[in-house]
Amino acid sequence: MKLALHRFDLPTRHPFTISRGTTTVQTTLIVELQQDGVRGYGEAPESAYYGATIDNMTAALQQARARIEDHRLDDPAEFFEAMGAPEPASLLAGSPFARCALDCAAHDLWGKLRGAPVWKLWGLSPDRLPPSSYTIGIDAIETMVAKLEEFPGWPVYKIKLGTADDLQIVERLRRHTDAVFRVDANGAWDVEQTLRNSAALQRLGVELIEQPLAAEDFSGMKRLAQRSALPLMADESCRAESDVDLCAGHFHGINIKLAKCGGLTPARQMIARAGQLGLDVMVGCFTESSVGISAAAQLLPLLDYADLDGALLLAEDVADGVRLQCGHISYPQENGCGIRLL
């Protein structure tokens, strides 16, 4: 195979704010793998919270370049394991964001070489796909209402919270739609806030709460899991496969993001383990292009919930792939993950 790396600085449609800060430009790394004249693509966005930068992702992939380019792709799962060996790819083994971009590129390439979509090669059916939410970032309440009205008719909206006006925000948004709401505090609440908010939010038609407490507060989550009026979904508390067992008894479900866990290969393992433990599964995203979203969408037939609107949060995309319209995701005619870089 041949490896190529592409950096993009992607302006957001609007300033995108969560409880930890605001993004106006999302920097992202696109990995390209080429074999037999066919190209596959994967993505990893920068994330200060997770310590993923273009520089350290690039360094990890460059260190592994010889091993990558000596490999002839046949099975993406075998390739993932080979690329995670401690030596000589030691930086890559410790960089889940870089491994994600590489693993997703390998899956896209694999499907294109095999002449079929990845979901089909896995033996899945697209007949029943969960709808994706559209995310409303924190802002002045009137601006949040305007953001909702910019994308009307969605079956589900995810509302970012973590302000002094959280309940007022949801109350105001509820006046403008009967859609299902999900809320995400990104770890900004404490136990008592969550208990109070869960009862009020339940009355406002909220379906679930994502990551109410700080990622490491499992003792608080154990109390909440028994008393919350709404189901609780782990995001920052669930990064890798080893975290799935920790979340059982503390959360009612997990939100898997490919960049957090290292790609499609570990994501499938996490979904299987969550099912064994009776946990619901959501696949989410960062603000990222259709490269990353199209890879994550291959998992849709396995999911309870989806949050795959990342490319819609951008002012302009850099790729074609899956299509998302009013929450409904459709697969393209392309093979692999369906990605075509623009």
pLDDT in tens, 283-309: 999 999 999 999 999 999 999 999 999
Report the pLDDT value the prediction gives residue 288, as an integer from 0 to 100: 97
Helix, strand, coil shares, percent, the chain, to 5: 40, 25, 35
pLDDT, tens digit (0-9, with 9 covering 90-100), for 7-16 = 999 999 999 9
For residue range 204-225, list pLDDT tens digits in order: 999 999 999 999 999 999 999 9
- Which tokens belong to 6? 């592409």
Determine the average pLDDT of the residues in 18-40. Answer: 97
Sheet holding 21-35, edge to edge: 2-18, 21-35, 38-45
Conformational region of residue 97, where left means phi above 0, alpha means psi within -120 to 50, and beta covers everything else: alpha
Collapsing DSSP to helix, strand or coil, 172 comes out as helix
The residue assigned the tokens 């899945």 is 124
Q: Per residue in 62-108, pLDDT tens?
A: 999 999 999 999 999 999 999 986 665 578 989 999 999 999 999 99
Boundaries of every domain in the chain: 2-115, 121-341
Alpha helices in 71-217 (DSSP H): 76-83, 90-93, 96-114, 118-121, 141-150, 166-174, 191-203
pLDDT at residue number 236: 98
pLDDT for res 88: 55
What pLDDT, on the 0 to 100 scale, is given for residue 8? 98
Question: Could you give the C-alpha distances from 341 to 108, 115, 178, 183, in angstroms and in order?
Answer: 12, 18, 37, 32
Residue 175 · residue 193 · CB < 8 Å: no
137-150 per-position pLDDT tens digit = 999 999 999 999 99
Residue 40: pLDDT band by 50, 70, 90 thresholds?
Answer: very high
Mean pLDDT score across all residues of the chain: 96
* Homologous superfamily, domain 121-341: Enolase-like C-terminal domain (3.20.20.120)
Q: Residue 229 gets which letter from DSSP?
A: S
Residue 37 pLDDT level (bands cut at 50, 70, 90): very high
The pTM score is 0.96
Top CATH class, 2-115 = alpha beta
What are 156-171's pLDDT values in tens digits? 999 999 999 999 999 9
Between CA 340 and CA 334 the distance in angstroms is: 8
Give the model's pLDDT for residue 90.
Answer: 73
